[in-house]
Structure 1
Amino acid sequence: MECTQPDSRDKLRVLFVDDEPNVLHGLRLALRHMRDAWQMSFAGSGSEALDILAREPHDVVVSDMRMPGMDGDRLLAEVQRRFPDTLRIILSGYSDYAMIMRTVKPAHQFLSKPCSHEDLTRTVNRALRLRAVLCNPRIKGLLGAIGSLPSLPEVFAALREEMDKPEPSLQRIGGMVSQDMGMTASVLKLVNSSFFGLRRHIATPRQAVVLLGLETVRGLLLLSELFRQFTLAPELGCSTDLLWRHCTGVGRFSRAIAAAEGLSAAEQDDCFIAGLLHDVGKLVLLAHMPGEYGAALARVREGGATVHDAEREVFGASHAEMGAYLLALWGLPDAVVESVYRHHAPLCGTEDTACVAAVHAANALHHELVVLTPGRAPRPADNDWLAACGLEGRMTAWREACAAVLATQEPET
């Protein structure tokens, strides 16, 4: 069940903050064509922006970084605390290391000056395209407040060990990051921001780590709010280790299926990232609402319901919808967001059908070929949907490709 789409008269409320009047005037002129879709407000300082937000909540805040009195990072940190479901975008002409470290948590996305009004419009609309999916305001606020995701203690420790070496390897560090969905999402969120001025999308953690450089990655790692160790109470009856093993397995399977279908290297990378992040909504719930998520899992154990259905009963949305909403806020690629959103309920007719199919099938095949939770009801692939998309009969070849991945996988210690 999805929420009803907002009334067409319900405009997106966007607040622009900059201490230079000429910049605000330029934004007014450049965005006049958006007046039918956006209700725009303008503030010359952080304090004025907070006053406007207190009078009328906004969907989006786009703030300059360097302003007298209250910098953009301080403003967005306060917006994050007081208005968590507001999309937070930093617009700045500076990309120094200190600024990156200050804004990586409170900002959802980063745009560099000069920024065309087309890029700005596209960024806002893409980030909020799933806002009508979540019915529960509390869930929407929870997801909006998240600046980073927790990481598995073992991966965290291994990264620290590698970085403490006299000559750490960025390639090895990138490989470690790719094993963890929290670190992967956070690093890709940063490296694909326009601060770095890259002309191409960076799809893999290895590429991201090499481009960011050791000092930036080290700073990210040392931010305890970004890479904090993650443990769960035993009474929840849920293992984070099994969750990570499943997600990394689905990522590898998704890449193998994409390769079997002859997709390009870039498309295979998107499939891998989408597979790795497909259950990121579960990570959010385990980290921020463990008690309520434990109640949902109890319904699964007691009544035989699927996790997907139990989540909808408790939260009004599934982990797939929550994860996709968060990744959209963070500006991850459309193919990744759509595949996370549709990995349980695929839909024909989208531009990203190939990636959705790879992740959907990989998830089903990993549950089939790697039994991590004995007794859990399987969730097979939707063969009717695959047939409708022209992929009838491909599961056999995909199963063989995934089995080959398992055969060549290093044994776990």
Structure 2
Amino acid sequence: MGKKILFVDDEIQILKAFKRLFMDTDYEISVAESGLEALDILGNQEVDLIVSDMRMPNMNGYELLSIVKNRFPDIIRIILSGFAEERIILDSLQKNIAKVYILKPWENNIFIETIDNIFKVENMLKDNINVLKLVKSADELPTIKESYQKIIDEIECNAEIYEIVEAIESDNSIAIKILHVINSSHYGVKTGSIKRAVAYLGLDNIKNIVISSAFIDSLGFDSKGKEKLKMLWKQSFIANRIVSFIYNEFLNKKIPETEMNAGLLSNIGMAFMMYHFQDKYSEIIDEVKNHHTAIVEFEKKCFGTNHQEIGGYLLRWWDIPFPIVESAIYHHEPFHENVINKQIVYVVHIAGKYAWDILKETSLMDLDEKVFLELGIDKDIFEKRLGEVAELNGLFDE
């Protein structure tokens, strides 16, 4: 029997359309005309994925999927919506109440392909024996120190802004990191105020920064290892700035909030492997630098998995928005057939490569120049503009 999908919509004709659409697939389809009916089905049947309309009477899609997330966390959640609910859709994606959203009217082939790809990614993260074996072979997963956990808890419990600001200000280390981010030139904000930084970046982005900082800070390296980690952290920080630079200067739009910090978090898996398998992983990095070996292939050969998959597993475990998880899993393989959020994956791929170049370090990434074509960016103009901006205003100064 194939995967089981529950479609929820108060319009009967739409539910009938879904049944017809998936008739020739291996999926087992159930339908519900309301949130209450959907919850009743979930309480009595196994369901792998739920697709819910946003606008429904009595219980809307946001409320339904929030309940599903709490009661049935293993069920994959998707929003079906029109443009009118843009704010609530964004909130749903940021809080990981839903993995992705599909707009009405949908294209049948793209709809089915999106669901296929979501299952492939989820199955890879949940069932990849080599990832699980590697994570379990580590002495322990890094722990988040109490002050960082307090900030995360305050955000997740919808605490008042002043309480979150106080929690951040109580730890000088994370306060400095957040001010460092907000004062980066691409944000155009110069402030020493944590309150203003929180208001400008938004709570979900603050949470991402806290998680990444907490993870990095929890890794206890020797002096030699600390230098390698410091270099990796610099690369990730610069990559994050390049991501915003590409969106602002070449895609002519603000980076979506669900994708912010994708560059910063893309190499979390590498930091994990660098820490837990220091000597062996140092040999891998030396091999990549000296012989221009593809790092993900060499990692796979040595460990049965790679830092992309490890990073995706950790970010999914931390409940980070799906586009950021995808960027971690596929930033070395931007044209992988499973990619759903193509644009951010392409951008992070570019940013990762040029961040190494800016640091004047041997790149651990092989650039696939086709990403420029897909994004509609002229590579030569991009490189020229990137160099000019870096030189003029210190975009990448630490």
Shorter-chain TM-score tier? 0.5 to 0.7
Determine the C-alpha separation between the residues in 1 that align with 2:95 and 2:344.
Answer: 29
Determine the C-alpha separation between the residues in 2 that align with 1:357 and 1:331.
Answer: 15
> Secondary structure in 1 aligned to 2:234?
helix
Deviations 1:12-48 (A, max 9, x none): 5311357xxxx37444323233122342123525253
Q: Which residue of 1 aligns with 2:355?
A: 366
Deviations 1:212-261 (A, max 9, x none): x959946x589x8995561323149467765553233124445667888x
> Secondary structure in 2 aligned to 1:108?
coil
Aligned partner of 1:403 among 359, 367, 387: 387
Q: Which residue of 2 aligns with 1:308?
A: 296
Matched ranges for 1:279-298 at <5 A: 280-283=265-268, 290=272, 294-296=275-277, 298=279
Offset of residue 50 of structure 1: 3.3
Matching residue's letter, 1:118 = W
Offset of residue 124 of structure 1: 7.2
Determine the C-alpha separation between the residues in 2 that align with 1:90 and 1:36.
Answer: 23
Does the Cα contact within 8 Å between 1:14 and 1:39 map onto a contact in 2? yes
Cα pair distance change 1:227/1:139, threshold 3 Å:
farther
Determine the C-alpha separation between the residues in 1 that align with 2:373 and 2:93.
Answer: 42
Aligned partner of 2:68 among 57, 68, 75: 75
After superposition, the CA RMSD in angstroms is: 6.3
Cα pair distance change 1:308/1:235, threshold 3 Å:
same
Offset of residue 87 of structure 1: 1.6
Determine the C-alpha separation between the residues in 2 that align with 1:89 and 1:205.
Answer: 34
Q: Which residue of 1 aligns with 2:120?
A: 132
Moved more, 35-44 or 226-235: 226-235
Does the Cα contact within 8 Å between 2:80 and 2:101 map onto a contact in 1? yes
Matched ranges for 1:18-97 at <5 A: 23=10, 25-34=12-21, 35-37=23-25, 38-42=27-31, 44-53=37-46, 57-60=47-50, 62=52, 72-80=65-73, 83=74, 86-89=75-78
Determine the C-alpha separation between the residues in 2 that align with 1:352 and 1:215.
Answer: 25
Determine the C-alpha separation between the residues in 1 that align with 2:14 and 2:330.
Answer: 36
Does the Cα contact within 8 Å between 1:250 and 1:362 map onto a contact in 2? yes
Matching residue's letter, 1:248 = F
Determine the C-alpha separation between the residues in 2 that align with 1:356 and 1:78.
Answer: 31
Deviations 1:176-201 (A, max 9, x none): 69949xxxxxxxxxxxxxxxxxxxxx
Offset of residue 99 of structure 1: 12
Offset of residue 305 of structure 1: 4.5
Q: Which residue of 2 aligns with 1:234?
A: 220
Determine the C-alpha separation between the residues in 2 that align with 1:245 and 1:409.
Answer: 14
Matched ranges for 1:262-341 at <5 A: 263-266=250-253, 269=254, 276-278=261-263, 280-283=265-268, 290=272, 294-296=275-277, 298-303=279-284, 304-306=286-288, 308-309=296-297, 311-312=299-300, 313-314=302-303, 316-319=305-308, 323=312, 330=321, 332=323
Matching residue's letter, 2:4 = R
Q: Which residue of 1 aligns with 2:98?
A: 108
Offset of residue 301 of structure 1: 0.6
Does the Cα contact within 8 Å between 2:308 and 2:328 map onto a contact in 1? no
Cα pair distance change 1:265/1:283, threshold 3 Å:
same
Is 1:378 the counterpart of 2:363? The answer is yes
Deviations 1:335-359 (A, max 9, x none): x998766542455999999987765
> Secondary structure in 2 aligned to 1:137?
helix
Q: Could you list the runs of 5+ residues in structure 2 that have no partner in the other structure?
A: 133-143, 156-160, 167-177, 190-197, 289-294
Determine the C-alpha separation between the residues in 2 that align with 1:116 and 1:353.
Answer: 20
Q: Which residue of 2 aligns with 1:190?
A: none
Offset of residue 59 of structure 1: 3.7
Does the Cα contact within 8 Å between 1:343 and 1:359 map onto a contact in 2? yes
> Secondary structure in 1 aligned to 2:45?
helix
Matching residue's letter, 1:409 = G
**Percent identity of the aligned residues?**
13
Offset of residue 128 of structure 1: 5.1
Determine the C-alpha separation between the residues in 2 that align with 1:137 and 1:317.
Answer: 15
Does the Cα contact within 8 Å between 1:275 and 1:340 map onto a contact in 2? no
> Secondary structure in 1 aligned to 2:218?
coil
Q: Which residue of 1 aligns with 2:6?
A: 15
> Secondary structure in 2 aligned to 1:88?
strand
Does the Cα contact within 8 Å between 2:357 and 2:363 map onto a contact in 1? yes
> Secondary structure in 2 aligned to 1:265?
coil
Determine the C-alpha separation between the residues in 2 that align with 1:36 and 1:395.
Answer: 43
Determine the C-alpha separation between the residues in 1 that align with 2:8 and 2:305.
Answer: 34
Determine the C-alpha separation between the residues in 1 that align with 2:52 and 2:188.
Answer: 27
Cα pair distance change 1:88/1:226, threshold 3 Å:
farther
Offset of residue 316 of structure 1: 3.0
Offset of residue 387 of structure 1: 12
